[in-house]
Chain A
Amino acid sequence: MSVQIVMDRSGDTRHEFDAVDANAVALAESRFNELTGKGFRAVALGRDGGGSDRVVSRFDPNVEETLFIPQLQGG
């Protein structure tokens, strides 16, 4: 199972999908495009604390965990 983690006011919202389920993948891709279109950054998490984290600009169903970070602003 893959998961898309979206940061929000509740902490985060997780959307799990099965990478072999075409419908679920299509839905996940649509979510990816919608969020990145709104300015979210998608980061593929490596779960090793940073060494293999990478920014992804295109949807990849094989990424196990994708974290969506809202647009940054200066304070």
Chain B
Amino acid sequence: MDRLHRVLRALLRGALVEHGANAPSLVDIVVETGAEPRIWAEFANGYRASAPLRPDDCFAFCDAHAAWNLATLRSALRQEALQVYLVMRREHQLDRVRNQRTWVSEQMRRLGRGIAHSLRARRTHLIEDPNVGWFLDDRTSAAHQRGIRLLKENLSPAQLEQYERHAFFEVSGSTTGRRYRIRYGRSMNIDQLDKTGRRVCGWCFFPKGNLVAGDVMLAQKLAIELFEADALKSANKIW
């Protein structure tokens, strides 16, 4: 590519970059003579751009187009610029579409990664408990398992067997001798039973601090077995 072509392309690119999708049509190419000759590109919306023009820049072009006077040079430059601009506009539009596609696909990729990440994060909170199967725990699995271990260490053999088989265990109230069933959970998980084992009502109390299920169930067990009356004072009864 000769130097004049490079100058022309630089002028035309300026219009494309400046106006984006609404790139104006090229109207004319003007060669300004004088002490410091310049080449001007004029567009339909009034946008104009110019660059210095040295005689050396023109020689190859003039030779190729047999343009040895100003009028012929201007006409040849105009024809050349129109063709080059046509190609550049087409390429510019293709680039824009390509970039839009790239942007969309980039956003989709990020969205996909975000979803995958959030699913991965949740996967670590999926806990497998032999009694209740897989469930989503809102605490870390390590905390959950520590809580369950502490609970199991402090259940009586009969309670542990019940818990392992049914995900609940029964306790006796220290004051009233009533039977209660503590089901796996962190709230609304205590049933008061009659002598035949049927549910009479429910009780809801738990320790403060958003504890894991194992800790909550152990606290409920100890509270009923050791200070039933106090525990029920703070509890809500559920029919």
Contacts and interface: CB of A to CB of B under 8 A. Distances in A.
Given A10-B143, A41-B227, A75-B206, A70 B219 contact: yes
A49 B156 contact: yes
Interface in A19-75: 39, 41, 43, 45, 47-51, 53-55, 67, 69-75
Contacts of B72: none
A67 B212 CA distance: 15
A69 B160 contact: no
Contacts of B204: 74-75
B146 interface: yes
Given A12-B215, A55-B226, A55-B227, A49 B154 contact: yes
A57 to B, nearest CB: 11
B196 interface: no
A43 B226 contact: yes
A49 to B, nearest CB: 3
A11 B235 CA distance: 23
Contacts of B227: 41, 55
Given A47-B153, A75-B236, A12 B205 contact: no
A53 B160 CA distance: 16
Size class of the A contact interface (CB-based, 8 Å):
20 to 34
B211 A8 contact: yes
A11 B141 CA distance: 10
Interface in B221-239: 221-223, 225-227, 230-231, 234-236
Interface residues of B, number: 45
Interface string B156-173: 111110000000000100
B225 A50 contact: yes
Contact of B144 (A5, A11, A53): A11
Nearest to B235: A74
Contacts of B158: 49
B209 A49 contact: no
Interface in B129-178: 139-140, 142-147, 149-150, 153-160, 171
Contacts of B160: 49
A11 to B, nearest CB: 3
B222 A53 contact: yes
27 contacts: A7-B150, A7-B215, A7-B218, A7-B219, A9-B211, A11-B142, A11-B147, A11-B149, A47-B154, A49-B159, A50-B221, A50-B225, A53-B222, A67-B218, A69-B223, A70-B207, A70-B219, A72-B205, A72-B230, A72-B235, A73-B206, A73-B208, A74-B204, A74-B235, A74-B236, A75-B188, A75-B204
The list of the 6 closest CB pairs from A to B, nearest first, reads A11-B146, A49-B156, A75-B204, A70-B207, A75-B187, A74-B236
Interface of A: 5, 7-12, 39, 41, 43, 45, 47-51, 53-55, 67, 69-75
